[in-house]
Amino acid sequence: MGILEELGQLTELRVLKIVLIEWDDKLVGCLNKLLKIQDLSIWAYAWMSPPSSLLPDLSSLSILVREVRQADLDILGRLSALRYLNLEVDHENLGIILGGLVICTGSFSCLVQCRFWNFLVPVAFQEGSMPRLQTLKFQFSVRGLRSIASGNGGLDLGLGNLPSFQHLNVHLDSQGASNEEVEELEAALWHAIDIHPNHPQLYM
């Protein structure tokens, strides 16, 4: 019996941390049996988001991957019990984010703390997404954000669409960016915080 088969028999398991050199589709079947899992950490070079219906009690999720797609965020956003999310892209291995990412209306309904790290560009939040989010931490590229902003007529991450928002922690990767570009982005972030009705704390 293989390790994943044995793991699938631990039906009372609530915490799982796993490192994958390569993705194994058997993991999805294994997670399907772990209905009581609440805290899941996955480090993988390639991965596939498991259907949200397989993890009804998952409240904490930490993932390190090389690539993030919109479809992955959409699936994760349907995890109904998720309260803490840490999603990190392996920047040292040329982390890839395919296009601009959006947190869609109705996604992450219970999330209170979120960390997006080593992203080439940040995500944008639609109205009705992450209604309970209090703390957001993210790291992204100044140049990457400017390329998105210039194509959309300006910077609007939709932070005003987060009604419970209280804390924002931002780390800017300024590699390849001018001082003027960094200052413009910092000013835009401060403006987004100033006009938010909750006046969240900004750490940058």
For 14-61, write each residue's pLDDT tens digit. 888 877 766 666 777 777 788 788 888 877 665 566 666 667 788 998
Neighbouring-strand partners of residue 96: 67
φ and ψ at 135, to 5 degrees?
Answer: -125, 125
- My answer on whether 39 and 66 are in the same domain is no
Answer with the one of 9, 35, 53 that is the final residue of a domain. 53
- My answer on whether 107 and 26 are in the same domain is no
- My answer on whether 192 and 161 are in the same domain is yes
What is the rounded distance in angstroms from the CA atom of residue 153 to the CA atom of residue 151?
6
Asked whether the beta carbons of 28 and 34 are under 8 A apart, the reply is no
- My answer on whether 13 and 72 are in the same domain is no
In our burial notation (b when 16+ CB lie closer than 10 A, e otherwise), range 129-165 reads bbbebbbbbbbbbbbbbbebbeeeeebebbbbbbeeb
- My answer on whether 101 and 67 are in the same domain is yes
Q: How many separate domains does the chain show?
A: 2
For 82-100, write each residue's pLDDT tens digit. 999 999 887 554 445 555 7
- My answer on whether 186 and 111 are in the same domain is yes
- pLDDT for 111 equals 97
For the chain, the straight-line distance linking the first and the last C-alpha, in angstroms and rounded, comes to 50
For residue 196, give its domain range. Answer: 59-203
What pTM, to 2 d.p., does this model score? 0.78
What is the rounded distance in angstroms from the CA atom of residue 138 to the CA atom of residue 149?
17
For 140-194, write each residue's pLDDT tens digit. 888 767 655 544 445 678 999 999 999 999 998 888 888 988 888 888 889 999 9
Q: From the CB of residue 42, how many other CB atoms can be counted at a distance below 10 Å?
A: 19
Say which residue, 101 or 194, is predicted with more confidence: 194
